């Protein structure tokens, strides 16, 4: 079941997501899966505003990344480990040793994938996974066509994804890696709870497609229909393509004023 709350703007999405994070952590959640990209910025900014410098609530969390570029130098600012350090682990006082990412430098991506999966399993699984969605419906770097039983592995980025992400590389498409290590769709679906945030007009197409499309590998985000506990927070722009007469029974839409039923 996917609960979708439509909220007025990015700040409201960030605040609601931070409420969900805080409630989850206060109720004993230990492992968090973290996404990168601009949609998660308001979430991390709000958590930093609430908890930055106090180092109490999140300090002992075990953090798992969703994905990591292959081929970026270790010190590159857009390496996702660096992004998570800058935007989440650092401000919230989580030691970097508690952040785990698939090894994107190793000679053997299969081994790197398997050992990342093992790390997740050894931590008892991911309690709460934060996700964004790509304009083409990807989750993590699982591009259209990815099988739903996929696990962490090396992947090729779609052309559209590289063009979209060029904005993080000063618009230089050649600087955007062609490959990444990515949690698979089955890995993502193994998380106990999933929180997806979608902000802005560029997300209206994948959000509209998600609410009307039963699970199909052509639209990776549609795999979430098969998960029992998904909350989606979308702003008005991202919700603007939803047609109320084409909503699947696995989707419950709310105007975001009241707490979403079944939410974390
Ligand atoms: C990136 C990441 C995804 C992210 C998505 C959307 O390529 N691999 O995890 O959810 O694209 O990013 P943004 O929020 O910047 O639009």
Q: What's the pLDDT score for residue 258?
A: 61
- Return the residue whose CA atom lies nearest to atom 1 of ligand 1: 37
Residue 66 alpha carbon, nearest atom of ligand 1? 9
| Distance from Cα 139 to the centre of ligand 1, integer Å | 7
- 140 CA closest ligand 1 atom index: 9
| pTM reported for the whole predicted model | 0.96
As beta bridge partners, residue 244 has none
Quote the ligand 1 centre to 116 CA distance (angstroms).
Answer: 20
Closest CA to 5 of 261, 254, 223: 254
> Sheet containing 62-65: which strands, arranged edge to edge?
99-100, 62-65, 31-34, 128-131, 193-198, 230-235, 2-7, 251-254
Mutation pick for ligand 1 pocket among 138, 177, 184 (CB with most ligand atoms within 8 Å): 138
pLDDT at 56: 77
Residue nearest to atom 5 of ligand 1 (CA): 134
Assign 245 a pLDDT band (cuts: 50, 70, 90).
confident
**Whether pLDDT at 3 is above 80:** yes
How far apart, in whole angstroms, are the C-alpha atoms of residue 96 and residue 81? 9
Closest-CA residue, ligand 1 atom 2, reads 140
Contact yes or no for 181/104 (Cβ under 8 A): yes
Indicate the pLDDT class of residue 263, thresholds 50, 70 and 90. Answer: low
Biggest alpha carbon distance in the chain?
50
pLDDT of residue 53: 79
Give CA–CA dist 31/248, Å, rounded. 31
Whether the predicted pLDDT of 264 surpasses 90 = no
Greater pLDDT, 101 or 55: 101
Quote the ligand 1 centre to 37 CA distance (angstroms).
5
pLDDT tens by residue, 84-136: 999 999 999 999 999 999 999 988 999 999 999 999 999 999 999 999 999 99
Calculate mean pLDDT across residues 76-82: 97
Please give the Cα distance from 134 to 202 (Å, whole number): 9
pLDDT at 260: 54
Residues with CB under 6 A from ligand 1: 35-39, 66-67, 132-134, 140-141, 161, 165
**Cα–Cα distance between 121 and 73 in angstroms, integer?**
28
Report the distance separating Cα 100 and Cα 117, nearest Å. 11
Cα–Cα distance between 129 and 43 in angstroms, integer? 13
- pLDDT tens by residue, 125-168: 999 999 999 999 999 999 999 999 999 999 999 999 999 999 99
């Amino acid at each position: 079941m996917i609960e979708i709350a439509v909220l007025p703007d990015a700040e409201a999405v960030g605040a609601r997501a931070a409420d969900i994070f805080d409630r989850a952590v206060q109720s004993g959640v230990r492992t968090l899966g973290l996404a990168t990209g601009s949609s998660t910025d308001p979430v991390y900014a709000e958590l930093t505003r609430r908890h930055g410098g106090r180092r109490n609530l999140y300090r002992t969390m075990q953090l798992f990344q969703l994905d990591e570029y292959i081929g970026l130098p270790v010190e590159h600012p857009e390496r996702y480990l660096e992004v998570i350090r800058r935007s989440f682990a650092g401000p919230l006082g989580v030691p970097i040793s508690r952040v785990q990412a698939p090894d994107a430098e190793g000679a053997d991506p299969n081994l790197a994938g398997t050992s990342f999966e093992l790390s997740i399993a050894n931590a008892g699984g991911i309690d709460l996974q934060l996700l964004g969605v790509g304009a083409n419906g990807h989750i993590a770097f699982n591009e259209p066509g990815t099988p739903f039983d996929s696990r962490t592995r090396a992947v090729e980025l779609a052309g559209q994804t590289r063009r979209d992400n060029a904005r993080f590389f000063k618009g230089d498409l050649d600087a955007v890696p062609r490959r990444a290590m990515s949690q698979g769709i089955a890995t993502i679906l193994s998380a106990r709870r999933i929180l997806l945030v979608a902000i802005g007009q560029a997300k209206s197409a994948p959000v509209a497609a998600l609410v009307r499309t039963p699970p199909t590998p052509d639209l990776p985000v549609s795999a979430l229909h098969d998960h029992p506990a998904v909350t989606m927070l979308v702003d008005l722009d991202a919700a603007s393509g939803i047609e109320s007469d084409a909503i699947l029974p696995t989707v419950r839409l709310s105007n975001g004023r009241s707490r979403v039923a079944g939410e974390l």
